[in-house]
Every structure is written in structure tokens, then in C-alpha cells.
Amino acid sequence: MCLGVPGKIVEIYETNGLAMGKIDFGGVLREACLTYVPEAKLGDYVLVHVGFALNVISEEEAKETLALLNEIVNLEEEISAQD
Amino acid sequence: MDQKLWNGFREPKLVQAKIRQIQKIVTRPWTIMEICGGQTHAIKKYGLDQLLPPEIEFIHGPGCPVCVTSLELVDKALQIASLPNVIFTSYGDMLRVPGSTGDLFSVKANGGDVRVVYSPLDSLKIARENPEKEVVFFAIGFETTAPANAMCVLQAQSLKINNFSMLVSHVCVPPAMRAILSSPTNRVQGFLAAGHVCTVMGYWEYPPIAQEFRIPIVVTGFEPLDILEGVYRVVRQLEKGTYEVENAYSRLVTYEGNVSAQKVIQQVFEVCDRKWRGIGVIPQSGWKLRKEYAQFDAETRFDIQSIVTQESPLCIAGFVLQGIKKPYECSAFGTLCTPENPLGATMVSSEGACAAYYQYSRNLPVPKMNHV
Ligand code: SF4
């Protein structure tokens, strides 16, 4: 249960005073509580633990991390091309 | 952030490059502990331990809440779930966890009303729909499930749902790290900190541990590249002799964590000593409900008589959870003890070390490959 699942917010509403949302997990829709991510907007990706979204996933950081990793590969290829 | 971007963290070309990078900097053997059972699962699933240079040994940490929930509490759960007026709700994983005299499944088979839920919110809903019944939720977990449980207690209070209570078995990661490092048998030289715990708690609790025990700690995610990046950064520090806290999971983790979740946890729970299955009591390592919320505490609500617990004499899960033994060193592993018929809790959940070994590498130990 510590493995949070990333999904996309497709609907936001309120139930019993709690911010709730419909989350799309790769085609499967499930409800999650959004009270801990007040900044989340429609279309954002959130990490959901046992029915509660706990974080908005930073797309920027994800891209940056992958870009850095790709750079290593490119660098390696350049070096081996020079050999 | 769509699935494609997320899948980027499994890209084989990048995985191989990262492994080569680790090979380049490693000069001697290092033992690294991944705290979280989710990471243990990923390491076995993708065979990362086999792909990495032989110098690097993973020690699997106690980070599976199903596995460390104490036998006493499991036995209490069995007693409460057997009561005639109770609907006992739990995550599915807990149903097969062996207590001293059976498991929740056997309670269900004997007529107990045991239901699997996905979230404590489901349990709250069952309580509203069944006002004549006592509905109990087995609130297990690390810092990742605490925000959900805390919010449900607040909801139960504000909606006046008086037939709802929780059997709380919350455990916290940093005290467990301290306990492992303080043990005379400790072999851990670097930590992959559990990324999803840090999404809630941030990593402000770690610098004092890193300094005190002179150990590098890297906040690490769950995809193959995340784990390898965590390993790379730990090894880089070990080779240099530094002991800093680094964050290799920046797309989800910030230093402060989710502050509003931490506040709600604080409001509802307080720190307590907690017994970990197979390990024993770790001081200040759990959360229990504050006095103000005692009416939602199943332990006070149900008068449970003293329990005599008994573990299977064959099970060495305590050593497995502390990284002293590997699952395949247990005489019952894969024969008397399987996921269908577990003797110990670490064989139950897919996040448990014994189950991860069983599922992905039954023929262990196998020789390590030197190159990829
Ligand atoms: S294989 Fe089964 S009996 Fe052996 S340590 Fe693991 S859980 Fe316990």
C-alpha cells in the first residue's frame, strides 16, 4: 500500500465537506480525496495512496530528470564514437 | 505528466547506461538498504540486484507494513473480527497474515463479517450504511497511509459516525532506520530512503540521522531508473566518504513534504512506542490516536482479553526484516511457507521480502553476472 499510484484528475467535486475527484488511472476511473492537494487542477497528475491524493506530480521535474539521464547516454555515445 | 513520460523511467537504454555509470565508480563492496518493501519488490521484479556490479549488495529493509504489524495486534484483530456485531474492514493483504490461531480469512470462513476495502473512506461509508453494527478498520501502514486514516477520524467525528473505530498499527520509518543503525549486527552502509513516505513527510527528518551515523541517505523512487539513480548517488557518496541527504525523486518529493497532511496527522495521532513483528519494540516508532479521539480507538472500545501469541518456530522473518538473513536461508522458504500458505508475515504481501523472492527468484541463490 506504500506504492502510490499516479493518475490524472478528470473531475473535481465536494462530498460531505471534503474535496473529492475522479481520477483516471490509465483508463480505470476511481474516486480519491483531494483535500491534501488544494493546488491540484483538472488535468493534473497526482499520486494516490489508499484513496487520498497526496502530491501533484511535477511534470517539469520528471522531464528534467529524464533529460539529464539522456545526456549521459549521448555523452557515452560521443565518447565511444571518438574511440 | 502522462503515462509515456512516467514510462521513461523504465527505458532500457537509460537503465543500461545508469548501470554502466555505477560500474565505473564502484571500487569495493558496499551494502545498501532499501527501506521500502515496494522497492524490494521492484528490485526483484526487474532483477536489478542481478544487473548491478557484484560489489553492490542490497539488504532489504523492514518497510512493509503488513509484515511488521505485531502478532499481538493481528491476534486482537482476529478477536474483534470474530465478535458477532462487528464488520471488520481491512486491506486485502492483511487477510492472509498468520496470527497465533489462524488469519482473518479463517475468521471470515467461520462466519465473521470481514470485508476488504481499498481506502479507510470505504470503511467509513460501510459504517454510515450499517448504523446498527460496529465497523472497525485495521489501520496499518507507514507515513503514507496516516493522512488518510487521520482524515477519516476527523470525518467520523464531524459527521457523528459513532459506530466507527480503528485498530491502529501505525509505524514510522526514521526511528526504524535509527534502530537498524544502532544494532550491533548492522551491515548497512547507505540508505535508499522510501520515496513515497517522503512525499508525505519530506526529508527534513534525515539530516540528523545521516550526520550522527555518518551514512549517506538518498530519497529514492520506485521505477527501475529511480532505484538505480538512488544506488548511483549512494555509491558516489560512499566512494567519496561523504554522508549527505540527497533527493533523487524530485518529481514527487520536496524537503518539507506535504505540510497540510503532516498537520492533520499531528492533530489526530501522537508518537508512541511500537512493537514491530519479528523485531521487537522500537521506542517512539509508531503513532497512536490522541486521547481526544479515544472513542475511535478499537483497542479501548473492545475489551480484548490478554492474548498469548505464538509465532511459527521455523520462521526467521525477524532476521530477514533486519537484513541479517536472506529469505532463501529459511528452511521453510518455498516449501512449508509459500504465499498461498504463509508461515510468516513477510511471505504475505507482495511488498514482503520473502514473497518478493518467492515470486521472482525461486531458484536463488544464483551467481551474479558481472556485466550487462
Ligand atoms: S520464508 Fe516464511 S517462514 Fe521463512 S522467514 Fe519467510 S515468512 Fe518466515
Decide if B128 is inside a domain: yes
Q: Is residue B286 part of a domain?
A: yes
- Count of structural domains within chain B: 1
The CATH number linked to B274 is 3.40.50.11740
What pLDDT, on the 0 to 100 scale, is given for residue B74? 93
What angle, 0 to 180 degrees and rounded to 10, lies between the N-to-C axes of helices B146-158 and B120-129? 20
Let me know if residue B332 belongs to a domain: no
Say if B271 falls within a structural domain. yes
Does B134 reside within a domain?
yes
Tell me, in angstroms, the distance from the centre of ligand 1 to residue A19's CA: 42
DSSP code at position B215: -
Q: Do B252 and A55 touch (CB under 8 A)?
A: yes
Mutate to test the interface with B, among A2, A37, A56, A61 (most CBs of B within 10 A): A2
Does B63 contact chain A (CB < 8 Å)?
A: yes
Q: Is residue B245 part of a domain?
A: no
Residues of chain B with pLDDT under 70: 1-2, 305-306, 362-372
Ligand 1 neighbourhood includes B316 CB (under 6 angstroms): yes
Question: Which cell numbers in the block locate residue A9?
Answer: 484528475
Cβ-Cβ contacts under 8 Å, A61 against chain B: 250-251
Band of residue A46 on the pLDDT scale cut at 50, 70, 90: very high
Domains (range + CATH), chain A? 5-82 (2.30.30.140)
Whether the pLDDT of residue A1 is over 70: the answer is: no
Question: B286 and B170 in contact (C-beta within 8 Å)?
Answer: yes
B121 class by beta-carbon count within 10 Å (0-12 exposed, 13-18 middle, 19+ buried):
buried
Grid cell, residue B53, equals 556490479
Please indicate if any CB of chain A lies within 8 Å of the CB of B69: no
Contacts of B142 in chain A (CB under 8 A): 2
In a domain, B73, yes or no: yes
- Report the C-alpha dihedral over residues B6, B9, B12, B17, rounded to 10 degrees: 150
Which residue range is the domain that position B276 belongs to?
69-171+258-298
**In this predicted complex, what is the ipTM?**
0.84
Confidence band of A82 (pLDDT split at 50, 70, 90): low
Residue B345 sits at φ, ψ, to 5 deg, of: -70, -30
Q: What is the pLDDT of residues B101-125, one digit of tens each?
A: 899 999 999 999 999 999 999 999 9
Q: CB A69 to CB B1 under 8 A? A: no
Report yes or no on B311 lying in a domain: no
Nearest CA to B179 out of B287, B315, B273, B310 is that of B273
Q: Are B124 and B161 in contact (CB under 8 A)?
A: yes
Give the residue, by CA position, lying nearest to ligand 1 atom 1. B333
Look at residue B301 in the predicted model and tell me its pLDDT: 92
